[in-house]
């Protein structure tokens, strides 16, 4: 009986082992088959079959983004089919193609590194004769043409600057109040704005000066980004490592380092880093997509450089950080998308015209803009800015001011870029993001603005509007270019 029991117990154990191992093997084969079937499905964004070896830049670029509730695939479809075609048309209109900028402002942080002498670094200014008359009128175009008689302008300016203050106030008191009003407006600004009245400020036709690789690189370019990451991004005081994604590694960085300490920061500080990283990523994608390919026979050819794209975003060449950089681009896209959603009521008022001096041009431009806003309103997964600066009132106010000043400092660093074309697009995209942050975190109410009162509450200058839409257009282009690079990598198999 003991032998039977022993043999019976062994048989039970043997059967149990067969069931467990068999089940595990079966599950393994089932999972492997499922995974292979999944890999053989066409990619939703490209229509091609992914290959993790040939498309390692994209193999983990999927799923829900950190710090928000939106998935990358939804953004791809929304941007590439609904937003990108419209934003391209919008930024080609006269109102958005001419941007006034001062490219001669000195670097406020270190001696000039000398200007880039490469011909592709130069910016072609736009003659005054080419600028539409309505745009040359400056802030005159913020409101409808009908309301812009001289007396109306003076009345609006008086109401905006002096409010209900009695006209018998002394000049000194009026100046003090005006200083206070300017200071109050400045609290909304997240970036350093160029003085459009400066003799050094000039109009630039953005269509004639496209953003692309100019050859500007080396210590001067590295110094700009290093200053942005090392001196202006939030990080624990006890941690030191090269935050610049393009900075040389110290040898002990496994690619996970910055995310390990980033997760220890509060939401606002994580968001700040991800915005800067996303902006950097977007700019690098533009340079990879419009790379100088050939200058032979007197003809310059620009096009996508897959090798350069891999260098900047392949996990194998970036110690695992390439995919995170791309995810930060999507995160930045959501932030600016949310700002446009929030500011839509401002532009929907009939009193706000995109004034160029041509009624037909203005109507077409505003119609395109409102089409974009309608698409944005239908997007179901917007970032919730109310989750930020929502703690203890005084602590939140202090953190918000620190956040604002850090970003404002970064906008000033753009005046240290040695390549004029790089400086142009860096300033425009930084100012566009700064305008988006102003919209998201302004204490002035944007909704329910009086239809016929342009002088009260939230305001945007033409410079801010042009920067806002062009910056978002650049992000939209970056996401579209990712689709193109995915296709190119697939074709190389």
Judged against a pLDDT cut of 50, whether residue 361 lies above it is answered with yes
Q: Which pLDDT belongs to residue 290?
A: 96
Judged against a pLDDT cut of 80, whether residue 419 lies above it is answered with yes
Judged against a pLDDT cut of 60, whether residue 54 lies above it is answered with no
Q: Which pLDDT belongs to residue 264?
A: 67
pLDDT digits (tens, 9 = 90+) for 430-448: 999 999 999 999 888 786 5
**How far is C-alpha 25 from the chain's CA centre?**
47
Q: Choose between 389 and 66: higher pLDDT.
A: 389
* pTM > 0.85: no
Binding residues for FAD: 212, 214, 225, 277, 280, 312
Q: Which pLDDT belongs to residue 302?
A: 92
pLDDT digits (tens, 9 = 90+) for 270-308: 899 999 999 999 999 999 999 988 877 778 889 999 999
Q: Which pLDDT belongs to residue 175?
A: 55
* Low-confidence winner among 182-191, 201-210, 420-429 (lowest mean pLDDT): 182-191
> Structure tokens of 262?
């980033």
Q: Which pLDDT belongs to residue 297?
A: 74
Query: Do the beta carbons of residue 412 and residue 192 sit within 8 Å?
Result: yes
Percent of the chain with pLDDT over 90: 48
Region 65-88: mean pLDDT is 91
Catalytic positions, please? 419, 422
| Mean pLDDT computed over every residue of the chain | 77
Q: Choose between 331 and 242: higher pLDDT.
A: 331
Q: Indicate the domain borders of the chain.
A: 72-491
């Amino acid at each position: 009986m003991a032998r039977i029991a022993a043999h019976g117990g062994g048989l039970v154990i043997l059967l149990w082992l067969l069931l467990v191992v068999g089940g595990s093997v079966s599950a393994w084969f089932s999972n492997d088959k499922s995974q292979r079937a999944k890999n053989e499905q066409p990619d939703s964004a490209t229509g091609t079959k992914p290959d993790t070896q040939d498309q390692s830049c994209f193999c983990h670029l999927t799923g829900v983004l950190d710090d928000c509730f939106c998935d990358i695939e939804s953004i791809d479809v929304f941007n590439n089919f609904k937003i990108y075609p419209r934003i391209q048309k919008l930024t080609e209109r006269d109102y958005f193609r001419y941007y006034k900028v001062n490219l001669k402002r000195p670097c406020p942080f270190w001696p000039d590194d000398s200007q880039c002498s490469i011909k592709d670094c130069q910016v072609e200014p736009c003659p005054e004769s080419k600028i539409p008359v309505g745009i040359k009128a400056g802030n005159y175009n913020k409101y409808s043409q009908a309301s812009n008689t001289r007396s109306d302008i003076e009345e609006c300016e008086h109401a905006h600057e002096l409010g209900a203050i009695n006209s018998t106030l002394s000049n000194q008191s009026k100046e003090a109040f005006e200083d206070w009003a300017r200071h109050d407006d400045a609290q909304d600004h997240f970036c350093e704005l160029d003085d459009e009245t400066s003799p050094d400020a000039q109009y630039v036709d953005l269509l004639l000066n496209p953003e692309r690789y100019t050859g500007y690189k080396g210590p001067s370019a590295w110094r700009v980004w290093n200053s942005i990451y090392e001196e202006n991004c939030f990080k624990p005081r006890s941690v030191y490592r090269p935050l610049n994604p393009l900075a040389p590694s110290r040898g002990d960085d496994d690619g996970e380092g910055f995310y390990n300490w980033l997760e220890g920061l509060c939401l606002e500080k994580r968001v700040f880093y991800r915005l800067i990283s996303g902006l950097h990523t977007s700019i690098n994608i533009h340079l990879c997509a419009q790379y100088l390919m050939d200058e032979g026979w007197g003809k310059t050819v620009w096009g996508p450089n897959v090798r350069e794209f891999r260098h900047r975003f392949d996990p194998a060449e970036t110690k695992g950080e390439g995919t995170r950089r791309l995810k930060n681009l999507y995160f930045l896209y959501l932030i600016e998308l949310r700002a446009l959603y929030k500011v839509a009521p401002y532009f929907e008022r009939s009193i706000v015209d995109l004034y160029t001096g041509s009624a037909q041009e203005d109507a077409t431009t505003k119609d395109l803009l409102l089409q974009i806003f309608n698409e944005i309103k239908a997007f179901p997964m917007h970032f919730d800015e109310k989750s930020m600066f929502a703690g203890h009132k005084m602590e939140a106010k202090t953190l918000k001011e620190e956040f604002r000043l850090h970003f404002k400092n970064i906008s000033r660093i753009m005046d240290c870029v040695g390549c004029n074309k790089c400086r142009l697009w860096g300033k425009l995209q930084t100012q566009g993001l700064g305008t988006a942050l102003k919209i998201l975190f302004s204490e002035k109410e944007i909704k329910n603005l009086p239809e016929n009162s342009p002088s009260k509450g939230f305001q945007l200058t033409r410079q801010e509007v042009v920067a806002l839409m062009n910056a978002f257009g650049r992000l939209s282009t970056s996401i579209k270019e990712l689709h193109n690079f995915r296709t190119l990598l697939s074709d190389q198999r």
